[in-house]
Each structure stands twice: as structure tokens, then as C-alpha cells.
Amino acid sequence: MIYLIYGSDLVQSRNFLGYLKAKLENTHIKTIRADKGFNFGLLKTEIPSSSLFSERVSTLIEFEKAPNVEKTGNLLFLEKLPATTTVVMWIGENLEKTNALLKYGRGKKDFVTKAFNKKNSVLNFELVDMINAKNPRSLIILDKILTKDSDTAFILTILANNFKNMLAVKLGNNLAKNLHPFVRTKLEKAQKNFSEEGLVDILRRIYEADVKTKSNICDIKSEMFSLFCYILNFSD
């Protein structure tokens, strides 16, 4: 599997990168910090297809600036990598639609492209604020996000972290003390809309939705809307 992560919102793109690393925790990960002039002609020699330490191997290539890909032919070897190999390319800025990496990956089943710009991140934050306030407008925002073909698991991760932190604030445990003051203040207000038992149940429902969507045993959009309706209508 090949992942291309890019965008001007470095916080969100880094969060997604962390989410991916967590998924790849049982693999041997090689990290390459490359500059703009990285020679893609040598990329094939930089990506291991096997490891003595793990059955699965992953290569993470980090670019602060968009790299130049002179020949898309230099990327063709990616299609021949074994199923046990994962390549993640992270780029710390936006890419033009004509970028060679985007053009190469377009339409390819095993090439996942994730863009994180300020507008998308605003939607994510607005989604959390609306659901915390039990505002039905959260369904409209959710629809916008899903229409953009966002990663459902990432949305569920954002929700899980939000309600986990909210529960910590409600219980007054050490996790809450480590939160940013601005975040903690918002959660102190939001937690009044939910009981301790309610938050535990919501976290359980998020976990169930994560299992269902990853197992492809449900319609993803329907499951997400069902989850949000459950949270909006939840009463203690």
C-alpha cells in the first residue's frame, strides 16, 4: 500500500501520520528525511521489501517541500512491491493538481492520497464543536467531510480522542491536567451535556462503528450518521 500525505495544515497531517504509524506498529519502519532535490530514480534502492525483524516492512519518506519527480517511470516499481510492504510519503505543503505524484496515484487502488489544508481542518474542528453541543448541524458538517472522501477511521479517532478527553475532564483525572488550557476549558463546558455513563457508552459505540467500518460489514456513511444521531439524541 502507498500513502501520499500532504497539505499546509501540518498539525492535522502529522496527526494522521501518527495514526498510520500506530497501524504499522508491528512492522519494521525505515524513515528517510529527504530534501526537494531527492532523486526518485534511486527510490527503488531505498525501499526494503523484507526485514529480519518483521514479516511486514514500511518506509516513511518525509519531505518539507514538494519534491520534483522528473519521470513518473521512476515510480512504476511501486506497483510491483509485495503486499507486505507499505510506503508512506509525507509532504509538508500543498501540491498542485498537476503534481506528478498526484497524477501517478490517481485511480490506483493501492495508492491512497490524503490532503490536509486549513479548510478541511476547520471542518474537523467545527464537527467536534457541534457534536459536543449536541447541535444537529453536525450532521451537515459530517456529510461535507464524508463527501470529500475522508478517512472514516481518522474521523472516528478524532471523535474517540474528544470523548476520551471529555471523560477525563469529567472525572478530573491526570489526563485532563495535561490538556491544553483552551481545550480543557471547552471540554469543561461540553461535559455538562453528558453523564459519566453516557460518555462511556458513546466511546463504546465509536469502537463498534470502527470495527464495523473496517470489517466492511456495513454501509460506512449510514453507520457514521447512525452514530452521530445516537450521540445527538443521547439522554441520561
pLDDT above 90: residue 110: no
**Residue 112 contacts residue 4 (beta carbons within 8 Å):** yes
Q: What angle do CA 85, 91, 97 make, to 5 degrees?
A: 100
- Claim to verify: residue 56 and residue 133 sit in the same structural domain: no
- Claim to verify: residue 109 and residue 7 sit in the same structural domain: yes
Grid coordinates representing 38?
A: 531527492
More confident residue, 115 or 200: 200
**Domain ranges, residue 106:** 2-116
Separation CA 119–CA 12 (nearest Å):
11
- 225 pLDDT tier (thresholds 50, 70, 90): very high
State which of 88, 116, 144 marks the end of a domain: 116
**pTM for the whole structure:** 0.56
Stretch among 59-63, 81-85, 148-152 having the lowest mean pLDDT: 148-152
- Claim to verify: residue 169 and residue 73 sit in the same structural domain: no
Grid coordinates representing 157?
A: 479517532
- Claim to verify: residue 104 and residue 125 sit in the same structural domain: no
Grid coordinates representing 52?
A: 529480519
- 53 pLDDT tier (thresholds 50, 70, 90): low
Grid coordinates representing 211?
A: 470495527
State which of 91, 116, 141 marks the end of a domain: 116
- Claim to verify: residue 108 and residue 138 sit in the same structural domain: no
120: DSSP letter: H
pLDDT above 90: residue 190: yes
> Computed over its alpha carbons, how large is the radius of gyration of the chain?
20
**Could you identify the residue written with the cell 474528544?**
162
